[in-house]
Chains A and B, each alone.
Chain A
Amino acid sequence: MPDQTPHIRNFSIIAHIDHGKSTLADRLLQATNAVSAREARDQILDSMDLERERGITIKASAVTVMHRHKLGAKADDLEAEYEAPVDESGKHASKKGAPEEHGDLFMLNFIDTPGHVDFNYEVSRALKACEGAILVVDSTQGVQAQTLVNAYLAVNENLTIIPVINKIDLPGARPIDVAMEIEQTLGFRAEDCLLVSAKSGLGIPELLASICEKLPAPRAPVSDQLRALIFDAVYDDYRGVITYVRVFDGSLKLGDKIRMMGTGRTFQVTDLGKMTPKPVRVPSLGPGETGYVVAAIRTLKDVRIGDTVTLEHNPATEALPGYQPPRQMVFCDFYPATSDGGDAPDFEELREAVEKLSLNDSSFTFAPVHSEALGFGFRCGFLGLLHMDIIQERLEREGGVEIVQTAPTVSYHVLVRGTDTVVSPSGQTLKPVDPATGNATDIPPGHTLVDVHNPAELPNPSTIAQIREPICRLEVMVPQEYIGDIMKLCLDRRGTYKNQSMVSATRQLLTFEIPLAEIIYDFFDKMKGMTSGYGTMDYEVTGYRSDNLAKVDILINGDPVEALALICHREKSEQRGRALISRLKEQIPRHQFEIPLQAAIGGKVVARETIKAFRKNVIAKCYGGDVSRKRKLLDKQKEGKKRMKSVGSVTIPQEAFMAVLDQGD
C-alpha cells in the first residue's frame, strides 16, 4: 500500500439484470491495473460456478482498487490515465509511466451487485456501506423495472448517483432516448449521463474521473470508538466465516478482540484484508474503509449481517442502523428423490447437503417435514423463485443429492378463533406471526394469527376466521401496445390497477396491487411471452390481506395427498382443481387397476378424472433362453418404479408433484 493517505470513495454498481454491471466492474479492475491482462476474464467477480454458467450475479462482491486522479482535472486530460483493455489477440497496451508521479491517490471500494429481484436484499446491504452508486442502464433496453427499484433504494439511502448508459458499442444503442428516459423517470439531467461501453472500455476514464470528482468522501468519524457495519458474510471451508465490513468510526487492527453489538458475541481478529480482487492482508482498517475480517467464526449462524462490530475493551455505545433480515417469500418441500417412503440414508444425505449449503447461503430457511407420499424431507423458504431454483441446483450439484420438489407456495397468515396454541392436522404447533414483521397488526380480541406456509398444515377449517395472503406492489414496464394484455393478465390474477406513468413516448410503467400467490408461478413467463420479451417487472410485498381463500385437496385412489394440496381463491378453486387433476392424469402411468383422481374443497368433490387400468401388459416373446436380457429389462423397470413415489398402491412419478403449478388458464 502506498504511504500517502488516499482519498476514499465507496460505491455500488447497480442496474437491472444483465445491463452490464459485472462487465463494467471488469473494466474498472483493468483500468486501475488491479487485474493484469493474464488474469483477466469476463465477469471476474462472478466467481461461483453457477454464476458463470447462468451469466448472472447471485452474490454481491466487494473489491478495493487504487487509482490516480488529479482532482479538478478536465476530461481531455484523462487519456493518459487510462490503459486500454486487452484486445482480442490477447496483446496488452504498453505500460504507461509510473502513475504515482501525477495526481492524487484514490482508494476505490466498490461492490458489484446482482440485478435479479430475488437478490434485492444484497443490493440494500451493499448500499448501506457506500456513499455513492453507479446506476447502469443498457442503451439498447433503456430504463427497466429493476433500474427504478435499485435507483430508489439508492436515493432512499441518500447516496450520490452517477447514471451511466452502457453498451453504446452495440448497433441498436439509443443513448439519447435512454438519457431522456432516465431524466423522465428518475429526474437526473440527461446531459449528466455518462456514455460507456463496458465491453470496449469506451468512456471508462471519464467514469473513473467522475467517481473521484462527484462521489462524496466518507463522512468524518464521529468518535474514536470502533463501529463497523457487517454488510456481508461468506463461508469458507478452510477459514470459516469471512465477514465484510465497512468501518464508519475508529479503526480495526489485526489481533483486536471484537464484539458484535447485536449478538454480544466476541471474537479475535485473525486476519484482516481487502479484496483487490485477490485477498491482500492489511494491518488495519480505518474510517471509511471496507475490507474483510476473519475471526474464527465457525458458522454463518454466529454472525448477523447488519450487526455492528466494536472493540471489546473500548466499545461504542450505540450500534449503527442495521438491516431487516431477508424475508422468505416462497416455500416448497425438498425430498430425496431415490427413497420410497422415507429411506433413512437418502434423507440423511439430503440433511447433510442442506446444512452444508446453509453455511454458504443463510437466506433460505429449512425445517424437517414428513409427508405420507414423499417420506422425510425439508420445508424450505426462499427469497423468490430464482432463489429456489438456485438452491435446488446447488443441493443437487454440490451436495450430490437428487431432489423431488413440491410446488412452491406463499406463506399465509391464518386468523384462528381462540387463544390456545394452534396445531396443524399433523399435530404440529403453528407459530404465531412474529409481530416484528409488521404484518401482524389487526388481531381481533380472542383470536390468534399463525403463520402457515404449507397448505397441508392449514388448521381445522371450522376454527379459521380468515386466511390472509401476502399482497405486493407490482410494477410492470411495457411498450405501449401491450398495456391491454398486461392489464387483462393482472386483473385475471386478482390484481387491482393502481397507477400508470410514462417512461418514454413508447413505454409505460404500470403499477398494480396483486396477491403474491398469483405471480410466483408462471406470471413472469406469461408476461414475457405476451410482450415478446420486452416487458420487465418488479414486485415488493407490502402487506397481508384476507380474501376468500380455500384449500383444494387432491385425492388419488381415494387417498388425500397433502403434497398436492393447494390454497387458492375460492372462485378459482374449481378451475385449478380441474387443471391439476387433468395434468396428473397425463403424468401418472396406467396401473393394473383403475385410479380415480378427485379434487375436493371442504370434503365436496369438485372435479374428477379416471386413469383407466391397462388391459394388456405382457411381452409375448421369450426367445432362445436369453433370460439375462429380459431380466435386465425387468431391472430397469424396477429401477424406474423405485424412483417414483407411492400413495397407497399407486406409484406417481416425481414430476407429477409439480403439476400443482398449472394455473388452469
Chain B
Amino acid sequence: MHIPFCAHKCHYCDFYSLVDPRDRQGSFVDRLGRELHALAPWGRGASLATIFVGGGTPSLLPPFLWDRLLGVLHEAFDLTSLEEFSVECNPESVSPELFSTLVRGGVTRVSMGAQSFNPSHLKTLERRHSPGNAGRALAMARDAGIPRQSIDLIFGIPGQTLDDWKHDLDDALALGTEHLSCYNLTYEPGTAMTARLKRGEFTPADEDVEVEMFRITLSAARGAGLERYEVSNFAKPGAQCRHNLVYWRGGNWLAAGPSASGHINGHRWKNTPRLDDYLSIDRDGFAPVSEHETPDPGRALTERLMTGLRLSEGLERAWVVAQATALHAGAASGLARAIERQTALGFLETDPARLCLTDAGFLVGDSVILELAGALDL
C-alpha cells in the first residue's frame, strides 16, 4: 500500500511522493478504501499473509485517518492468519497516539527511516529529523506494543568517512534492532541530489570507500547477530521482512495506492503514479493502471534471477536449469557456461543445490545477474 505524502522532499528520493499543499489526505484515504474493497475479491476468501504500508511517509497520516484506513482493511479482507503487518515511519512524524492506533489495527512491525545518526549527513540528504529522534520513535513504538522493528540507513553519502559510517552502524545496532536495511546512496535521475552532483556541489563517495563500507556493514551486522539475507538487508534469525521476501521470491501480492505495483502469476502491473488521477479516476474502485505486463516465460526467469540472486538463499539450481531448458535450445547451455564462469571468478557459490552469490559476488551482484540473464539469449 502506497501513501504518497511527505512533509518535505528529501534530496536523494525518487519514490512517488509529494508535499501536498491542499489537504487531500482525507479524500485519499477514502479513495484508498474504495480500492481495497475492489481488490478484496482477489483475496479469494483466504486470509492475507503480510501487509506492507510504504510511501511517502505513512506516519504522516493523522491517527484518525489511520483509524479509518485500518477499519476498511479489516472490513474488506480476511486477516485472521496475518503473519506480518509493517508500516514505514519517519522519526519526526510519530506519536504515542499514532502507534496505539496502529497496534489496535494489527500492525506488528515498524520500519524507521533513520538514514543516519550524524546531523551533517542528514543535512546533506535534506532529511528533516535530528539524530536522536529515531531512537526515541522506536522506543515509543515498542512501548505502544509494536514488537518488531527495523532501521533504514544510507551509506556512501558525500563527505561520509568510514568512521562516520561505523558510528551510524553502532548507533543503529545499539538500539537492539532485529532488522537493518543499509542502502548505498544512488543518484537517481531527476532528483535534487543528482542535480547537485552535476553542478559539482560535492564529490561523490569514492568507490573503494563504498566497498569498504559494504564490508564493514556485513561484519558489524554479523557482530550483532544479524545475518545478511538480501543485498542490503540484515536480520536476526527469523526476523526477515516476510513481505519483502514475497517480492523477491516471486510470490503474489496486491497493490493499492498511486505507484504501487502488484504481481499475480506472471501479471505485473503498476498503478499510475499520479495522485490527481488516482483521486479522479475510479473504475468500480480500481485505480488507473499505467503498466501491465502479461506472463512471459523468458521474462519470468529473468526476473527470478534478478530478484532471487539478491537473496542469500539464492535460487534452486535444478529449478533454474529446468526453466532455462524450457525456454529454447541454447538457453540452458548458455546459462550453464555463464554460471561456470561466474563461479570461476569467485562470484557464485559452488553449492550443488542452490545458486547463490558469494560475499565477493554480492559486491558485483548486478554484473553477475547481467551475465546470467544475458546468457539466456532472449
Q: Which residues of A contact B (CB under 8 A)?
A: 592-593, 614-631, 634-635, 637-638, 641-642, 649
Query: Knowing A593-B345, A618-B364 touch, does A634 contact B373 (C-beta < 8 A)?
Result: yes
Asked if residues B253 and A625 are in contact (CB atoms below 8 Å), the reply is yes
Interface hit among B26-34, B114-122, B300-308: B300-308
Given known contacts A626-B261, A638-B373, A641-B370, A616 and B303 CB-to-CB distance under 8 angstroms? no
- Measured CB to CB, the nearest residue on chain A to B378 is A638
Tell me the bound Cα distance from A183 to B28 in angstroms.
88
**A324 to B: closest C-beta gap in Å:** 50
Contact indicator A615/B270 (Cβ below 8 Å): no
Q: Which residue of A lies closest to B232 (CB)?
A: A620
- The answer, yes or no, to whether B231 is at the interface (CB within 8 Å) is yes
Q: Select A618's contact among B247, B268, B341, B363, beta carbons within 8 Å.
A: B363
Point out the residues of chain A lying under 8 angstroms from B303, CB to CB.
Answer: 627, 631
Which B residues are in CB contact (< 8 Å) with A621? 183-184, 186, 232
Chain B nearest Cβ from A79, distance in angstroms: 65
CB distance from A23 to the nearest CB of B (A): 46
B362 touches A623 (CB 8 A): no
A273 to B310, CA, bound (A): 74
For B213, the closest partner residue in chain A by CB is A616
CB distance from A615 to the nearest CB of B (A): 5
Interface: B316 (CB within 8 A): no
Instruction: Contact check, A625 vs B262: say whether CB atoms are below 8 A apart.
Output: yes
* Contact call A615/B367, Cβ cutoff below 8 A: no
Q: Does B15 contact A620, Cβ atoms closer than 8 Å?
A: no
- Cα-based distance from A614 to B208 in the complex (angstroms): 10
- Chain A residues, Cβ within 8 Å of B293: 628
Contact A630 to B306, CB < 8 A, known contacts A618-B231, A641-B374: yes
A638 CA to B54 CA, complexed, in Å: 31
Q: Is B288 part of the binding interface, using a Cβ–Cβ cutoff of 8 Å? A: no
Determine whether the beta carbon of A617 is less than 8 Å from that of B306: no
6 tightest CB-CB pairs across the interface, nearest first? A620-B184, A625-B247, A618-B365, A617-B367, A617-B364, A620-B232
Q: List 21 A-B contacts (CB under 8 A).
A: A592-B347, A592-B364, A614-B364, A615-B363, A616-B207, A617-B365, A618-B365, A618-B366, A619-B186, A620-B186, A621-B186, A622-B232, A624-B54, A625-B246, A625-B255, A626-B261, A627-B307, A628-B270, A631-B306, A635-B302, A638-B374
Q: How far is the CA of A393 from the CA of B36 in the complex (A)?
A: 57
Contacts of A614 in B (CB 8 A): 207, 364, 367
Q: Which residues of B contact A631 (CB under 8 A)?
A: 299, 302-303, 306
* A54 to B347 alpha-carbon distance, docked (Å): 52
Within the complex, the shortest CB–CB distance from B39 to chain A, in Å, comes to 15
| Residue in A closest to B376 when the chains form the complex, CB atoms | A638
A616-B364, A624-B261 are known contacts; what are 9 more A-B pairs with Cβ within 8 Å?
Answer: A592-B347, A592-B368, A616-B363, A617-B367, A619-B366, A622-B310, A627-B303, A627-B306, A630-B306
Main secondary structure, interface of A, reads: loop
Instruction: Give the residue name and chain of the B residue nearest to A615 (CB).
Output: B211
> Taking CB as reference atom, which chain B residue is nearest A625?
B247
A616–B306 contact, CB under 8 A? no
Interface residues of B, CB < 8 Å — how many? 50
A614-B367, A616-B363, A628-B261 known; A623 vs B231 contact (CB < 8 Å): no
CA distance A642 to B373 in the complex (A): 12
* B178 CB within 8 Å of chain A: no
Roughly how many angstroms separate A618 CA and B291 CA in the complex, as a whole number?
26
**Per-residue CB proximity of B350-378 to A under 8 Å, as 1/0?**
00000000000011111111110110000
User: Which A residues lie within 8 Å of B366 (CB)?
Assistant: 617-619
In the bound assembly, the distance between CA atoms of A642 and B367 in angstroms comes to 14
B134 at the interface (CB under 8 A from A): no
- Complex contacts, A634 vs chain B, CB 8 Å: 302, 306, 369-370, 373
Tell me the smallest distance from the CB of B266 to a CB of chain A, in Å. Answer: 11
A627 touches B268 (CB 8 A): yes
Interchain CB contact under 8 A, B231 and A620: yes
Closest Cβ–Cβ distance, residue A1 to chain B (whole Å): 66
With a cutoff of 8 Å between Cβ atoms, the chain A residues found around residue B367 in the complex are: 592, 614, 617
Assembled-state Cα–Cα distance A626/B186 (Å): 17
A593 and B371 CA atoms in complex are apart in Å by 13
- Nearest chain B residue, comparing its CB with the CB of A641: B374
Closest to B347 in A: A592
- Which residues from chain A contact B270 at a C-beta distance below 8 Å? 626, 628-629
Please measure, in the bound complex, the distance between the C-alpha atom of A616 and the C-alpha atom of B204, giving whole angstroms. 14
Is there contact, CB below 8 Å, between A620 and B183? yes
> Which residues of the other chain, A, contact B291 by a CB distance below 8 angstroms?
628
Q: Is B2 an interface residue (CB 8 A)?
A: yes
B286 within 8 A of A: no
Measured between beta carbons, the chain B residues less than 8 angstroms from A616 are: 184, 207, 210-211, 214, 363-364
Residues of B with C-beta under 8 A to A629? 261, 270
Is A617 in contact with B363, judged by CB distance below 8 angstroms?
A: yes
The reply on B260 being an interface residue by CB < 8 A is yes
Asked if A649 and B341 make an inter-chain contact with CB atoms under 8 angstroms apart, the answer reads: yes
Chain A residues with CB under 8 A of B236: none
Q: Is A627 in contact with B263, judged by CB distance below 8 angstroms?
A: yes
Report the bound CA distance from A377 to B208 in whole Å: 42
Instruction: Give Cα distance in the complex from A637 to B260, angstroms.
Output: 25
User: Which residue of B has the minimal Cβ distance to A623?
Assistant: B15
- Residue interface bits B173-187, CB-to-A below 8 A is 1, else 0: 000000000111010
Nearest Cβ distance between residue A629 and chain B, in whole angstroms?
Answer: 8
Binary per-residue interface labels of chain B (310-347) against chain A in the complex, 1 for a CB within 8 Å, 0 otherwise: 10000000000000000000000000000001000101
- Bound together, the chains give a CA A623 to CA B56 distance in angstroms of 12
Query: Hey, which chain B residues are within 8 Å of A638, CB to CB?
Result: 370, 373-374
Return chain B residues, CB-CB under 8 Å to A630: 306
**A626 vs B293: C-alpha distance when bound (angstroms):** 12
In the complex, are the beta carbons of A637 and B370 less than 8 A apart?
A: yes
Residues of A within 8 A of B255 (CB): 625
User: What residues of chain A lie closer than 8 Å to B259, measured between beta carbons?
Assistant: 624
Which B residues are in CB contact (< 8 Å) with A642?
A: 374
Kindly list chain B residues whose C-beta atoms are within 8 Å of the C-beta of A635.
302
Residues of A within 8 A of B210 (CB): 616
With contacts A616-B364, A634-B302 known, is A628 near B207, CB below 8 A? no
Contact with A along B243-258 (1 / 0, CB 8 A): 0001110000101000
Q: State the CA gap A629–B186 with chains docked (Å).
A: 16
Q: Shortest Cβ distance from A620 into chain B, in angstroms?
A: 4
Distance to closest chain B CB from A628 (angstroms)? 5
Docked pose: A623 CA to B54 CA in angstroms: 10
Task: Please indicate the chain B residues that have their CB under 8 angstroms from the CB of A615 in the complex.
Answer: 207-208, 211, 363-364
Closest to A649 in B: B341
- CB contacts (< 8 Å) of A620 on chain B: these are 182-184, 186, 231-232
* Chain A minimum-CB-distance residue to B208: A615
State which of A592, A619, A627 has its C-beta within 8 Å of the C-beta of B247.
A627
Q: Is A624 touching B2 in the complex (CB atoms < 8 A)?
A: yes
Q: Could you say which of B184, B260, B268, B365 contacts A624, with CB atoms under 8 Å apart?
A: B260
Residues of A within 8 A of B365 (CB): 617-618
- Residue among A616, A629, A631 with the highest chain B CB neighbour number at 10 A: A616
Residues on B with C-beta less than 8 A from A628 are 261, 268, 270, 291, 293
